[in-house]
Amino acid sequence: MKKVYLLAVIAALVGCSEKKPLTPEEQWHGYCTSMGNAARSIMLDRQSAIQKEQAVEHANKIDDEFTKTFILDIIDQVYALPEEQIKKDKDAARDQIKAQITEKCLTTPHDKLPEYKQF
């Protein structure tokens, strides 16, 4: 019993240790993952009959210009899709836009990591 308790304490201490700082590449990958998640959320909003004007109004509240431009582009892309395409297989449509936007972001040139909140 003491061994199990000791192992649990050691595991907890190891888990609580400081994490290494992320490299710029890891930070960019995290940002792009968030943009993919945002695209998925935007698609879900579209599938739930949220109007494009509402999405744009919400996006315009984003302070970081790089992120705002990226999100507005996602909104344009999602709302340009035919309704039948996004409603035929809703889950697949959300997964597809998430993957497309994540990949697009990963290949987007950037000078610095934008300010953003994770989605």
Query: Considering the chain, what percentage of its residues have pLDDT values greater than 70?
Result: 81
Contact 26, 91 (CB under 8 A): no
What DSSP designation does 1 have? -
pLDDT at 16: 56
As a whole number of angstroms, the longest Cα–Cα distance in the chain is: 63
pLDDT at 34: 94
pLDDT per position as a tens digit, 1-19: 444 444 444 444 455 556 7
Neighbours of 37 (CB within 10 A): 15
Structure tokens at 111: 């000078």
Does the pLDDT of residue 48 top 60, yes or no? Answer: yes
Residues 6+ away with beta carbon under 8 Å from 72: 56, 59, 60
Enter the pTM of the model.
0.78
Q: How many angstroms from the chain centroid is the CA of residue 17? A: 27
Residues 6+ away with beta carbon under 8 Å from 110: 28, 66
Does the pLDDT of residue 86 top 70, yes or no? Answer: yes
